[in-house]
Amino acid sequence: MTQPLVVFDNVVKHFGSYQAVERMNLEIYKGEFVAIMGSSGCGKTTTLRMLAGLDKPSEGEIRLNGERINDLYSWERETPLVWQNLALFPFLDVLENVEFGLRMRGMAKAERRKKALLWLERLGLEEFATRDISLLSGGQRQRVALARSLVTEPPILLLDEPLSALDAHLSVRMQGVLTGLQKDLGITFVYVTHSQSEAFAMADRVVIMSRGRVEQIGSPQEVFLEPHNRFVAEFVGGKNILNCIVVGFDDSGLVCLDSQHGGFLARLPEGKTVVPAERVTVCVSAEHIDLTAQPMRRNRLNCTVVGEEFIGSMVNIYLEASGGLELQVQKRHADYNLLGVHCGQKIFAEWDGADALILRGG
């Protein structure tokens, strides 16, 4: 198996009595685009800072190319970081900003200038070489920061929410620039973000964190379609959660469940087993629920429509079932118009047993 480029081996980081990262074990491979995501305070930025050499692990070991780097200063390791605020030098022009890392390495002026100009050309910035940083747009400054980090040709690039200050349209464009660069260069990217859309659009694998713990690691498709626990299901959004008790199994291998809302069927993720009377959490994606006046499937709930939300090409329909259970259903505009639903309407929500997933964790 390929040797990982980066290894977090039982890494812990605490600040006084506050534990920011709890027993992190993570392997990142050469050429991967890995996104670390979670809400504020989850430990994602602390993880990035430890890899960059800005914070030292309290316990455990971080290895880069097989070498322990815990005690190396940031300038002694090949882990450049693109900051959220970009941290460009306002007293230097564009070319001088890109040259900076090469100058610190003692590279001759002619050689570093040639190399910096090549990177400006690669990122479409050659015409701005002598321009002041203050005169650039947000997207242009973003590309200068990338050029400054990549001009040293590091094996890995760290990015701390670099698109958060950009408007939505420019952010999408920069996502294309980043993924194109990463694939062309074959450099490992470790990208910290709170934005699910950014992470899912760009990353090969995503790491979901909460309260300093890694909750799940997998491809965007794996994490969205098969969340491991309730936190991940709620974090990625568009999921409905039911608390159930295992009753048994049907002829097709689906699990028979009971709940305060009635009986349901659900499937087990690979490798998980359950026994009768066990309490489980079930997840159903909003797009898998159908609305009808005449239900045909065993998985059904009698609901009241309580709200609607238009989101681009889709419509979210919000329902309330008995006991105050809230459900979200997502439909395309055309399907929504055919349904003709309205607030206050009584309607059945139903779904296939194979579309209901029993979560691995709570």
Mean pLDDT per 10-residue segment, the chain (362 residues): 89 95 96 93 94 95 95 89 81 90 88 90 87 86 87 90 76 84 90 90 96 96 94 93 95 94 94 94 96 93 94 92 92 90 94 95 74
In angstroms, the first-to-last Cα distance of the chain is 32
* CATH architecture designation of domain 6-225: 3-Layer(aba) Sandwich (3.40)
The predicted model scores a pTM of 0.87
Closest CA to 192 of 221, 219, 225, 157: 157
Helices (H), 128-195: 138-150, 168-185
pLDDT at 239: 94
- Specify the amino acid at residue 189: F
Longest dimension (CA), the chain: 78
User: Where along the chain do its domains lie?
Assistant: 6-225, 230-358
pLDDT at 180: 87
Helices (H), the chain: 44-52, 94-104, 109-122, 138-150, 168-185, 196-202, 220-225, 230-236, 333-339
Residues in the chain: 362
Alpha-carbon distances of 226 from 106, 119, 244, 283, rounded to whole Å: 50, 40, 18, 9
Fold classification of 230-358 is: OB fold (Dihydrolipoamide Acetyltransferase, E2P) (2.40.50)
- What whole-number distance in Å separates Cα of residue 187 and Cα of residue 29? 10
User: Could you give the angle at the alpha carbon of 283 between the alpha carbons of 280 and 286, nearest 5°?
Assistant: 160
